[in-house]
Chains A and B, each alone.
Chain A
């Protein structure tokens, strides 16, 4: 099923025409309504007239997270406050939060995009959608909520946390679609297993999991443990919230809803745009947003764009699963390491539980990496040497993938903190001045 076939399966030539038209409007809007964008364009010697084609987009300056912080709270809004009907904000643990505003039409578009996303996971009017993303200033909860209502499904707005209750309602209300972070889904799966509730007491069919990068191996794990189809969804508050891109049932990349967003991939160092098929940093320009449009927003997410036709019939470009974030990336002894790389090694070996944390420290002048991972009941042996063999196998695989020696440390089950939202995968103890 495709929610909006005319848009989602539009011929690419027509799509590009639509994008140019919308891009021009957006550039005009920010130029006239947002001093910060106007000043940046003027500094680059540009006016809205200079943007006549999709290629011209590359002439516009980038927007980065710091720009958003610098104009806290409403400095980048392109609509007067009387037209803004909703605010969302990041947690702002490292300074001013990032605040985004939505007009009525923005909210309608957002619901439309989440309806497309949920339809990708098989949602319809008979579905019961349990929204386990946090409600509140975070965009996850309300984004999924309005999309599910738009589809006409029954929404269970339980928000994150309260795992026992999640499971009880999942059972009692006959939840068919679960929406939450993949790490929380894993925790739910684990708790379900322990509770001994037989699978046939649940009607769960699919999950839409996002808000943090996760691997193909994690998908297999979730699909196996929960007996569902697991769909990766993508979004970020700065651009819209969830509903920027979603996997279709083919699960070969996430379709970016290109009638609303223009994606680019750039080299994060040279900032040069890269062709389809090359890996780099995702950059988005919104082309329908009124309240908080962004021009060439650098997401820090690493992905690859594919434009080849998809078997599902949608024509929108596909982004590969985000393989990491340039700011999740840790540099250890000069080597770039993403937690998702460690995850893929652990899950493909299957010797331990899929719960892990990277602990980085500095001894003298040397960085050290320890990977703590929970011992699995299945693989537990009372012989020290077989346990040490597990540690060595993981260590060897990590070393060959990362090009870095990591000390593997087996820890007791449940000793790594479970997250009800985004998982914390890195503990960096280095004192960097």
Chain B
């Protein structure tokens, strides 16, 4: 139920993102979703790709500082209050969210959101027990 996310340390200077995406392109790796968190000096790029292990190795070989992080992908009902319902469930279980970002939507009635939370296993369990869909890694990579 966990999704492998690739995180990369990026200095805030021109051309770094270009080098990175080119590296992935050369390995024929497709990006499913991405998000950047940044400070004044550096940023951390988070990526969901179709081949996480290959991406990790390719980036490392090119000299990037990379790590793999486990996240969850949650299918959220695409109507007002959909996300709020999920938040209530997690808050009820006292699970903190580190960050979240959305995947480009590919289904008509569900929005897909990536969550990085504390206590990942508990989060999966509590979401499922409330009938909320948590996607398998393969489902997300293959979208």
Contacts and interface: CB of A to CB of B under 8 A. Distances in A.
Contacts of B16: 412
Contacts of A413: 63, 65
Interface residues on A, range: 10 to 19
B89 to A, nearest CB: 23
Interface stretch (A36-44, A332-340, A382-390): A382-390
Interface stretch (A64-72, A207-215, A268-276, A373-381): A373-381
Interface SS majority for chain B? strand
A388 B38 CA distance: 11
A415 interface: yes
Contact of B98 (A380, A383, A414): A383
B10 to A, nearest CB: 7
Contacts of A415: 11
Contact of B44 (A377, A384, A411): A384
Given A387-B44, A388-B39, A410-B42, A380 B65 contact: yes
Contacts of B37: 384
Contacts of A376: 65
Contacts of B42: 375, 387, 409-411
A375 B44 contact: no
Interface in A396-425: 409-415
Contacts, number: 52
B128 interface: no
B12 to A, nearest CB: 10
Interface string B106-124: 0000000000100000000
A375 B67 CA distance: 12
Contacts of A411: 11, 41-42
Nearest to A353: B65
Contacts of A381: 67
A194 to B, nearest CB: 10
B25 to A, nearest CB: 20
B64 interface: yes
B45 to A, nearest CB: 9
B5, B37, B42, B46: residue with the most chain A Cβ atoms closer than 10 Å: B42
Nearest to B67: A380
Contacts of B38: 384
A409 B65 contact: no
B46 A377 contact: no
B65 A382 contact: no
A362 B46 CA distance: 36
Given A380-B67, A382-B69, A409 B9 contact: no
Interface string B1-21: 000010101110000100000
A186 to B, nearest CB: 17
Contact of A384 (B39, B64, B66): B39
A410 B10 CA distance: 10
Contact of A375 (B5, B9, B46, B98): B9
Interface string B37-65: 11101101010000000000000000111
Interface string A94-117: 000000000000000000000000
A409 B63 contact: no
Contacts of B64: 412
A411 B39 CA distance: 12
Contacts of B98: 383
B67 A382 contact: yes
A411 B10 CA distance: 8
A379 to B, nearest CB: 9
A412 B10 contact: yes
Contacts of B39: 384, 387-388
Given A410-B11, A413-B63, 14 more contacts: A376-B65, A380-B65, A380-B66, A380-B67, A381-B67, A382-B5, A382-B69, A384-B39, A387-B9, A387-B42, A410-B9, A410-B41, A411-B11, A412-B63
8 contacts: A375-B42, A377-B66, A380-B67, A384-B37, A387-B44, A411-B41, A412-B10, A413-B63
